[in-house]
Amino acid sequence: MEELSRRRVLELGGALGAVGAFAFAAPAQARPWRWSPAGSIPGTGNGADPRTVWDPEADQLVASLLDRGDVPRVNELLRTWTRNGQPLPGGLPADLRDFMERARQLPDWADPAKLGAAVRFNEKRGLYLGVLYGFASGMMSTVIPKEALAVYYSKGGANMKRRISKTAKLGYDIGTRNAYLPDGEMAVTAVKTRLVHAAVRHLLPQSPHWEHAAPEDVPISQHDMMVTWHSLPTTVMRTLKAWKVPIAADESEGFLHSWQISAHMLGIEDQYIPATWDLAESQAVEVLDPILAPTPEGIKLADILLDLGAGLDFTLLTRPILGALTRFMLGDEIADWLGIPREPVWGTLLDVAWGPFVAVREGLLPLPLAPEAYWTFDELLRQFVLLYMSELRPISIEIPEFNNPN
């Protein structure tokens, strides 16, 4: 499979012409796994290479649900299960109910004080998080080769807007005041997503498209999940630091904690979840940074993302501005991979004025003498938040029964 995919990648390399120095993930994949469980939350573990570990209990269960033809009924029942504290609906198959009762529990290391600090973080930084989850994390997912392939060829790949809105639900739920409290929704979202991933592991290997393009036999390993995890909180924190947004130490730790819990609830083993930001950074350098690369599928997904605001009433969420934002946040190399053109006006404005804008917003500088850029940027952030709240309204997350038929 590995050889096949490398050949396929070389073929695609030709098609990608403009992409230039085309480094696919394969060399990084060949590296031995070095990150030590000593840096994880429990500080210990068997140290198994996470590229060879998936989510066996959930995977077996969901494969069996699919084989038994139970998934449509399960999806219908689970549509009514939305709050963390809500009892599971009656009528679920006994093995699924049993699994979900355990999977919905927060880990015993969940710390209410840290989650309280996460709430303060989300309240203070919420305005930045829309653009960060969407156009730092979301765009980055298109240059994570294995994720781009899995998303493109799975059911959701056929309707990207719908898929984006479901993924946005997780970013939304984790940022709410009651995320993990009984009246919140994050535990539900995480458990449902865990089931979706298990279904994808069963279904994707049956897709002739994916089989042809895939670098592996079974998608979404523990390693892949940590890669994607780093494209979320680690990338958000890296970008906030680059923007010099001041963040109190306890709030930064709280934000990390809320994502550590989500990793656990998505089925990531504790031995792979970094205990601190420094350890997260050391893992991201090993697992995320070296594997970023373009793929034809990721380029198409990015193209769809850039049109997210098309036809809507958001005057600033246009393709050129979203492209300029991507280049500004993820850098020239990634923007060039994705074929995003340079935008002289918006590119320059972001390069020159974003830093001062953040400083003014954070109360570190007085209002500028020429405040136009300030208000434009403020409105841009506001439109992102509105986009998530209106157009990308949370939709119920459902277990897929088939792949992208196209």
| Residue numbers at the binding site for ligand HEM (CB under 6 A) | 146-147, 150-151, 154-156, 163, 166-167, 170, 193, 196-197, 200, 219-220, 224-225, 228-229, 266, 397, 400
> Considering beta carbons, is residue 299 or 349 the nearer one to ligand HEM?
299
> Considering beta carbons, is residue 125 or 197 the nearer one to ligand HEM?
197
Alpha carbon distance 153, 130 (integer Å): 26
Cβ atoms of 374 and 368 within 8 Å: the answer is yes
Q: C-beta of 399: minimal distance to ligand HEM in Å? A: 8
> Considering beta carbons, is residue 151 or 350 the nearer one to ligand HEM?
151
> Considering beta carbons, is residue 234 or 383 the nearer one to ligand HEM?
234
First to last CA, the chain: 22
Q: C-beta of 347: minimal distance to ligand HEM in Å? A: 30
Cβ atoms of 58 and 201 within 8 Å: the answer is no
Tokens standing for residue 85: 């504290």
> Considering beta carbons, is residue 223 or 327 the nearer one to ligand HEM?
223
> Considering beta carbons, is residue 160 or 334 the nearer one to ligand HEM?
160
Tokens standing for residue 78: 């689970």
Helix (H) or strand (E) holding 137: none
Taking the CA atoms of residue 206, residue 209, residue 210 and residue 212 in that order, the dihedral angle to the nearest 10 degrees is 110
What residue has token string 């972001």?
350
> Considering beta carbons, is residue 200 or 350 the nearer one to ligand HEM?
200
Q: C-beta of 147: minimal distance to ligand HEM in Å? A: 4
Of 260, 267, 270, nearest to 62 (Cα)? 267
Q: C-beta of 391: minimal distance to ligand HEM in Å? A: 16
Cβ atoms of 41 and 270 within 8 Å: the answer is yes
- Nearest residue to ligand HEM, scored by beta-carbon proximity: 156
Tokens standing for residue 184: 């919140």
Alpha carbon distance 351, 325 (integer Å): 10
Tokens standing for residue 209: 């498209």
> Considering beta carbons, is residue 100 or 200 the nearer one to ligand HEM?
200
Q: C-beta of 133: minimal distance to ligand HEM in Å? A: 10
Q: C-beta of 99: minimal distance to ligand HEM in Å? A: 18
Q: C-beta of 16: minimal distance to ligand HEM in Å? A: 20
> Considering beta carbons, is residue 118 or 349 the nearer one to ligand HEM?
118
Q: C-beta of 197: minimal distance to ligand HEM in Å? A: 6
What residue has token string 């830093």?
355
Q: C-beta of 313: minimal distance to ligand HEM in Å? A: 25
Alpha carbon distance 231, 249 (integer Å): 21
The number of C-alpha atoms within 13 Å of 274 and in the hemisphere containing its C-beta is 23
Cβ atoms of 92 and 77 within 8 Å: the answer is yes
Residues 6+ apart with CB under 8 A from 146: 25, 214, 215, 216, 219, 224, 227, 291
